[in-house]
Structure 1
Amino acid sequence: MVHEEYVVTAQADPSAVVPVILDVERWPEWTPSIRSVRLLDRGPLAVGSRVVVSQPKLPTVTWTVTELDAERGFTWESRGPGVRTLGEHWARPVPGGTEVTLRLVQHGPVGAVIARLTRGLTRRYLRWEGDGLAARVTGGATR
């Protein structure tokens, strides 16, 4: 297992942050790490929802939501031969705002190789996503 993590504090209440996290189809508006996001299932994001995500320099991937808390965030996963990748997006209240933890965890023999090859890109994308989210919920600059 290999994981990368980025933690950012947004100066906003979780009630303002979590809806932005859960509105995955609008992520391209506030982070350059995402080209497009498309829900394959009707309705709001829920456990079992499938989501197609296109990112620069990476293959398009279908994610399935495995855990969702409407007040805290969600986890989704993608699978391929020899790899299972988890993407975690969690928020918690802290004095002065909301701490957001973004984590990418790769399992399996192929996952370890992919993690090594994409470590710099993954770190950059997590930072862009966290900082873009914080800016979005505080009225800062967005993409």
Structure 2
Amino acid sequence: MRFEDVTEIAADAERVWAVLIDVQRWPEWTTSVSRAERGEQGPFAVGATARLTQPKLRPAVWRVTELTAQREFVWVSETPGVRTTAEHRLLPLPDGRTRVELAMSQSGPLAGLIGWLYGGLLRRYLRLEAEGLKRRSERG
């Protein structure tokens, strides 16, 4: 199963990226995350981890598997039967704005069931993240 959301933000990619990778502050701008803790100090890079607590979901540890500075990061969370991959992509637009593409996909033996049970919630959380990122980034 795959869920996606897209938004355009009236801020440059550098600004949006700074907000996006400051994971510990996500609860300040999206109600889809109630608590976020980095697993280690230092730069947000491949291998970095964060533990996210989200309403109506079990806390999950996410590990960054791909990262291109100011462009995208992908991270993965695994639980028995389900592997969840979340993609965060920034596409600079010619007028100084940024297109943000968020996607979440699930694989594994329980992915279909989880998608069926939580698909609406996951779509709503992607929308809340996109809207919150837009508000925070445009605040400047």
Percent identity between matched residues is 45
**Runs of 5+ consecutive residues of structure 2 not aligned to the other structure:** none
* Cα-Cα RMSD: 1.2
- Counterpart of 1:98 in structure 2 is 98
Structure 1 gaps, min length 5: none
| Number of equivalences | 139
Aligned partner letter, 2:32: S
CA contact (8 A) 1:22 1:73 kept: no
8 A Cα contact 1:63 1:76, kept in partner: yes
Question: Deviation at 1:135?
Answer: 0.8
CA offset at residue 73 of structure 1? 2.5
Aligned match of 2:135: 135
Q: 1:26 and 2:28 equivalent?
A: no
1:117 positional shift:
0.7
Q: Which runs of 4+ in 1 moved over 3 A?
A: none
User: What is aligned with 2:65?
Assistant: 66
Distance in 1, Cα, partners of 2:25 & 2:80: 29
Task: Report the CA distance between 1:35 and its aligned residue.
Answer: 0.5
Distance 2:29 2:109 in 1: 33
CA distance in 1, matches of 2:131, 2:91: 16
Q: Distance in 1 between matches of 2:131 and 2:60?
A: 23
Tell me which residue corresponds to 1:89: 88
Distance apart, 1:113 and its partner CA: 1.0
For 1:70 and 1:19, how far apart are their aligned partners in 2? 10
Inter-partner Cα distance in structure 1 for 2:105 and 2:23 = 19
Q: TM-score, normalised by structure 1?
A: 0.93
Q: CA deviation at 1:83?
A: 1.1
